[in-house]
Amino acid sequence: MTPRPTALGAALTVFGAALCTWGLFSASRPPWALALALLALAAWVVRTALVFVPQPVAARAARVAALCAVGAGALAGTSTGANSLIPATVCAMVLVADQTVSVVAAAVTAGGGVALVAVGAVLWPTSVPAFAGMVAAVLVGALAGFSRRQGAQARRREALLAERERALREEAGRNELARDLHDVLAHTLGGLVVQLDAAEALLEAGDASSAHRRVTSARELAASGLGEARRAVTALRQPREPGAEAAHRDPVASVDLDRRLDELVEMHRALGGEIAWERSGVPAPLDRAQADALHRALQEALSNVRRHAPGCAVTARLAWRPRAVRLSIENPLPPSRQSAPSATEGFGLRGMRERVNALALGGTVTAGPQAGSFVVTVEEVLA
C-alpha cells in the first residue's frame, strides 16, 4: 500500500518545502536549476496532498508526482544542494517503500536518481566530495524506503498469520461443538428411544408401574442431555480467555474419571443393556482433555452398541499401564452385520480420533470387526 504521512508529517512537509523555496532564492542559481528545484518542491507537496485522497487515480497521480520530485530534484541537486535534494530523497524513499510499486521499478527509480545527480554534476561542475554526498543522500533515502517496505511486509505477514490462527481456532471450536453435540444427541436420543420402547411394551403388558419408572428415567435422561448440550453451546459461544487452552491440561483426579465412566456404565444398564466393566492397573494422573476423550469414547461406543447391536452383551475394559491407558469396548457382532460389516465410520468414531489426535501426548483409536466382535480401542500416552 502507499505510505501515508501523519498530519504532523504532512505539516512538516509543507514547512520544509517553504524553507527550501526560501533557500533557493537566497543565492544566484541557473534558471534551469531553479525551475527544476521548484518543480521538485511542488511535486513533493502535491504528492503529500494526493495520498490523502481515497481514489485510485489520486494514488497513481501521487506516484507520478513523487517520480517528478526524484527526477527534477536529483538533476538540480548539484546547483541547488539540499533545496532540491530533500524532496528527491524523501520521494525516493516513499516510492521504494510503496508496496504497489514493484521492487524492480523502485530500484530503477533509485538508480535513475543517482544517474541524474551525475548528469547535473556535468551541467554544473561540483567537487567530488560534494557529488559523493549527494549520491549518498539519494541512496540513503532509497535504503530507508526499502527498510520501511520490509517492515510493512513483515507486519502484513504477521497480520495474515494472526488471521489464519484465528480462523483455525474458530474451525477447531466448530469441530469441538459438532463432536460434543453428536455424542450428546446420540447418547440422549438413543437412550430415549430405548426407554420409550420399553415403556410402550410394559404398558401393553399392563405393567403401568414399571412403565412409569421407564418414563421417569427417560425424562431424567432428556434433562441430562439438554444440560450437556447447553453447556457445550455456551462454552463455544463464550470468548476464549487467555489460559483457556491451559485449562484443558488441568489434572483430573482418577476418582472423578471413575465416577464419570461408572455413570455411563450404569446408564447403559438402566437402558436394558448388559455390560461387564473391568479395570486393571494403577491409575495415573490425566489432564482434562485426556479424561474427556476417554469419557466421550465410552459414551459413543455404548451408544453405537444400543443403536447397531441392541441386546448384545458388552465388555468394557480400562487398563492402566506404565506409559499408557487403554480403553476397549467389545461386543459381539449381530448376525445381520457379520457377513458385511460396515467399512465406513460415522461422525462418532471420527470425533474419537479427532479428540485423541488433539491430545498433547497423543494416542491412537482403532475400531472394527475382530473375530466376530466389534472392538473399539482408545489408547492414550501418559506422561
| Predicted local confidence at residue 337, as pLDDT | 61
| Predicted local confidence at residue 294, as pLDDT | 94
| Predicted local confidence at residue 249, as pLDDT | 66
Residues 219, 122 share a domain: yes
d(CA 70, CA 86): 9
Residues 259, 228 share a domain: no
- Asked if the structure places residue 243 within a domain, the reply is no
Task: Dump pLDDT digits (tens) for 21-45.
Answer: 888 888 888 888 899 999 999 999 9
| Predicted local confidence at residue 364, as pLDDT | 94
Residues 232, 303 share a domain: no
Residues 202, 65 share a domain: yes
CA dist 103 to 80, 93, 99, 107, 331, Å? 29, 13, 8, 6, 67
Residues 293, 271 share a domain: yes
User: Are 96 and 113 a contacting pair, CB within 8 Å?
Assistant: no
| Predicted local confidence at residue 380, as pLDDT | 94
- Asked if the structure places residue 49 within a domain, the reply is yes
User: Are 117 and 73 a contacting pair, CB within 8 Å?
Assistant: no
Residues 189, 97 share a domain: yes
Residues 204, 89 share a domain: yes
Residues found in the chain: 383
Residue 195 banded pLDDT, cuts 50, 70, 90: confident
Task: Count up the domains in the chain and report the number.
Answer: 2
- Asked if the structure places residue 42 within a domain, the reply is yes
Residues 257, 234 share a domain: no
Residues 198, 70 share a domain: yes
CATH label of the domain that carries residue 330: 3.30.565.10
The alpha-carbon radius of gyration of the chain (Å, integer) is 38
Residues 372, 265 share a domain: yes
Task: Dump pLDDT digits (tens) for 211-237.
Answer: 888 888 788 878 877 877 777 777 666
Contacts of residue 4, defined as CB under 8 A and 6 or more positions apart, other chains included, come to 51, 52
Q: Which domain holds residue 257?
A: 252-381
Domain boundary among 210, 238, 266: 238
Residue 133 pLDDT > 80, yes or no? yes
| Predicted local confidence at residue 237, as pLDDT | 64
CA dist 165 to 168, 169, 236, 245, Å? 5, 6, 17, 14
- Asked if the structure places residue 193 within a domain, the reply is yes
| Predicted local confidence at residue 278, as pLDDT | 95
- Asked if the structure places residue 247 within a domain, the reply is no
User: Are 65 and 43 a contacting pair, CB within 8 Å?
Assistant: yes
Domain boundary among 186, 214, 238: 238
Residues 371, 226 share a domain: no
Residue 338 pLDDT > 60, yes or no? no
Residue 325 banded pLDDT, cuts 50, 70, 90: very high
- Asked if the structure places residue 286 within a domain, the reply is yes
The larger pLDDT score, comparing residue 247 to residue 34, is at: 34
- Mean of the pLDDT values across residues 47-68? 88
- Asked if the structure places residue 301 within a domain, the reply is yes
- Mean of the pLDDT values across residues 137-157? 90
Residues 69, 35 share a domain: yes
pTM equals 0.56
- Asked if the structure places residue 246 within a domain, the reply is no
